[in-house]
Structure 1
Amino acid sequence: MKTRKVGIIGLGHVGAHVAYSLAVQGIADELLLVDMKEQKLTSEVQDLRDAAAYLPHRVTINAGDFADLKDCDVIVNSVGKIELLETHDRLSEMDFTIKAVRGYVQKIKDSGFDGVLINITNPCDIVTRELAMGLGLPKGRVFGTGTGLDTSRLLSALARQTGVDHKSITAYMMGEHGALQFAPWSAVSFRGMPLDEWAKTDERFRFDRDALQKESIGGGWVTYVGKQCTEYGICTTAARMVHIVLHDEKAIMPASMELCGEYGEEGLFVGVPCLIGKNGVEQVIELPLTDEEKAKFHDCCEGVRKNMEHLKDLY
């Protein structure tokens, strides 16, 4: 039986929690942890090994370097500097994260890695594109968590508002993983019945959509203000994506993926519903958006392109 091996680059709050989620859920058989801080790496490996003895399944945790990532099925990139988020702007991390990625992406490529890479690092859409270009893997093998976590907030908010379990709701946040993202309400449904149809007969479904969307976008800052980091939501999102890839689930969830004409856009990565399997993103799902939603999505893409202009200053 093939060993499922996952590498994690960067062991800050998010990276360490991703490692723990993968271990405690039994998603990976082997974890390879990589971090530039030697003592941090040693400490995280020890802590996870201490936990592994009482897990109901076997998991091996090892420290490594970029060259050791060669045999990984999946890599999760989570290098970041969370304190840079004090400006409430994910782009404030760009100067640090883009330079960091450019410092090691060639090392990943040189290792011979030929799996799937999932990026968490912010600004997610722009960093994911940088990793994809640097690694040169087939299309879809590099994608980001993008609006996946924001979608989980939307589903949670909809469940509280309507009383319907979140697993019975289909909804997405799309566009930039940031302030410009939006919820395409025309695509929200409850076990096949559109939100607009429910709203005709049930007042629970006649809520302030703008307020609920704002809540979903701003939820990350609510988390950050009290603890100066985000952990559980994003690590669970990443772990779910790793599980989908390793088990070739062909599951649909939002991810930051390259557009090549879908939704009339190209040349950038943004959050869209994707079919994910063993080869990463295997298909971008094009929702039948309204004209107003198409305009909002285009505005999101223009916002990402504007932010990408800053990359020229970092070369």
Structure 2
Amino acid sequence: MKIAIIGAGHVGSSLAYALVLKGLGNHLLLVNRDATKALGNALDLQHTLAFCERPMQIEGGSLEEAVGCDIVAITASEPMTKGMTSRMELGQANVELFKSLIPMLAENNPEAVFIIITNPVDVMTCWATRVSELPPSRIVGIGTLVDSARFRTLLSKAEQIHPDDLRAYILGEHGPNQFPVFSHASAGGEPITDSPRHREIFEEVNKAGFEVYRLKGYTNFAIASAACEVIRTIVHDEHRTMPLSTCFDDWQGIKDNCFSIPVVLGRSGIIRYLQPDLNSLEREALVHTAKIVRANIDSLLFGVGER
């Protein structure tokens, strides 16, 4: 299985390292606008293979060499600026960047599943779906998968239960308008209630990404681990449930939008949308996040001829 990572910065290189350690795929290609950086990362990763369980072909190359891939993960982005307060600030520049990346990648990798990591991820997932002309089931954004993982991690400390044994999703925008689904959160069949303490934990999660950014200037480990989990699920056709950003015609009465909803993921991409019964508070939050994301999509894509 051939995997290409487009963008070899903090997230791309962390993702590549995770893939090599876990032995996912047998051919890894790193692509970066600074080709020497991609080559350097590839060489460094080659030197780790003696400590890994599986051999792997690892290369640095150009965009033109990303051909016949099974999975294409896109982390390429304009750099975050100091003092940035919203992922949307990256939007216009990254929309333009994707115009130069996606058409060629889609043409050269028509059977691939595309994983969008670039922010603002919901807008970029929508844009990649439109310009690639590939089925929406094969363009997935990391979205609130990483937020849900953060949520389970913090809940696990409060509940003194391992994060893997908690079932708790955050859906909607990967941003300030995301929302938790407490009505279906549980551990061992016992509900995780919508309590003041659990709401405080959610608020911590909502701010977590920018707190990491404030402290170290970027985020990379958690988002790369989330992307690695998506890739593992695709490689092994695991049919796992995940909250991922995807374009849809209709979900829970929300029309023509793109944000994180619970899906089943496998080798061919998204296999089905899941339809949890949301309570009134969650439905209100769903409608709100849908309006915000739709407005973001329209504001960024209208200028490049898209509605």
Q: Secondary structure in 2 aligned to 1:53?
A: helix
Out of 193, 209, 212, the position equivalent to 1:223 is: 212
| Residue equivalent to 1:48 | 45
CA displacement, residues 232-286 of structure 1 (integer Å, 9 cap, x when unaligned): 1000000000000111100001100122211111212101111001111111111
What is the alpha-carbon distance in structure 2 between the residues aligned to residue 255 and residue 172 of structure 1? 11
Does structure 1 residue 121 correspond to structure 2 residue 110? no
Does structure 1 residue 301 correspond to structure 2 residue 298? no
Q: Secondary structure in 2 aligned to 1:122?
A: coil
For 1:61-140, list aligned pairs within 5 A. Answer: 61-84=58-81, 86-140=83-137
**Contact 2:148–2:168 under 8 Å retained in 1:** yes
Letter in 2 for 1:13: H
Report the CA distance between 1:207 and its aligned residue. Answer: 4.7
| Residue equivalent to 2:251 | 262
Q: State how many pairs are aligned.
A: 304
Q: Secondary structure in 2 aligned to 1:79?
A: coil
**Contact 2:35–2:61 under 8 Å retained in 1:** no
| Residue equivalent to 1:275 | 264
| Residue equivalent to 1:199 | none
| Residue equivalent to 1:200 | none
Report the CA distance between 1:90 and its aligned residue. Answer: 0.4
Letter in 2 for 1:300: T
Report the CA distance between 1:84 and its aligned residue. Answer: 3.0
Report the CA distance between 1:86 and its aligned residue. Answer: 2.9
Out of 250, 269, 274, the position equivalent to 2:239 is: 250
**Contact 2:129–2:247 under 8 Å retained in 1:** no
**Contact 1:124–1:177 under 8 Å retained in 2:** yes
Report the CA distance between 1:186 and its aligned residue. Answer: 0.8
**Contact 2:236–2:267 under 8 Å retained in 1:** yes
What is the alpha-carbon distance in structure 1 between the residues aligned to residue 92 and residue 81 of structure 2? 10
Letter in 1 for 2:144: T
Report the CA distance between 1:151 and its aligned residue. Answer: 0.3
**Contact 1:171–1:189 under 8 Å retained in 2:** yes
**Contact 2:209–2:219 under 8 Å retained in 1:** yes
Letter in 2 for 1:25: K
Letter in 2 for 1:45: A
Consecutive unaligned residues in structure 1, runs of 5 or more: 197-204
**Contact 1:8–1:76 under 8 Å retained in 2:** yes
**Contact 1:94–1:123 under 8 Å retained in 2:** yes
CA displacement, residues 101-130 of structure 1 (integer Å, 9 cap, x when unaligned): 011211112314311011100000010111
What is the alpha-carbon distance in structure 1 between the residues aligned to residue 195 and residue 177 of structure 2? 24
Report the CA distance between 1:228 and its aligned residue. Answer: 0.6
Report the CA distance between 1:59 and its aligned residue. Answer: 1.3
**Contact 1:180–1:303 under 8 Å retained in 2:** yes
What is the alpha-carbon distance in structure 2 between the residues aligned to residue 38 and residue 206 of structure 1? 50
TM-score of the superposition, structure 2-length normalised? 0.95
Does structure 1 residue 160 correspond to structure 2 residue 160? no
Consecutive unaligned residues in structure 2, runs of 5 or more: none
What is the alpha-carbon distance in structure 2 between the residues aligned to residue 242 and residue 224 of structure 1? 25
Out of 190, 194, 202, the position equivalent to 2:191 is: 194
Report the CA distance between 1:195 and its aligned residue. Answer: 2.1
Report the CA distance between 1:313 and its aligned residue. Answer: 2.9
Out of 223, 231, 248, the position equivalent to 1:234 is: 223
What is the alpha-carbon distance in structure 1 between the residues aligned to residue 104 and residue 248 of structure 2? 26
What is the alpha-carbon distance in structure 2 between the residues aligned to residue 21 and residue 92 of structure 1? 28
Range 244-253 or range 32-41, more displaced: 32-41
Report the CA distance between 1:139 and its aligned residue. Answer: 3.0
What is the alpha-carbon distance in structure 1 between the residues aligned to residue 304 and residue 131 of structure 2? 15
TM-score of the superposition, structure 1-length normalised? 0.92
Q: Secondary structure in 1 aligned to 2:180?
A: coil
Range 115-124 or range 73-82, more displaced: 73-82
What is the alpha-carbon distance in structure 2 between the residues aligned to residue 54 and residue 243 of structure 1? 20
Report the CA distance between 1:64 and its aligned residue. Answer: 2.3
What is the alpha-carbon distance in structure 1 between the residues aligned to residue 21 and residue 110 of structure 2? 25
| 1:54 to 1:164, Cα distance in 2 relative to 1, 3 A | closer
What is the alpha-carbon distance in structure 2 between the residues aligned to residue 269 and residue 221 of structure 1? 22
Letter in 1 for 2:234: V
Q: Secondary structure in 1 aligned to 2:98?
A: helix
What is the alpha-carbon distance in structure 2 between the residues aligned to residue 248 and residue 308 of structure 1? 31
Q: Secondary structure in 2 aligned to 1:208?
A: helix
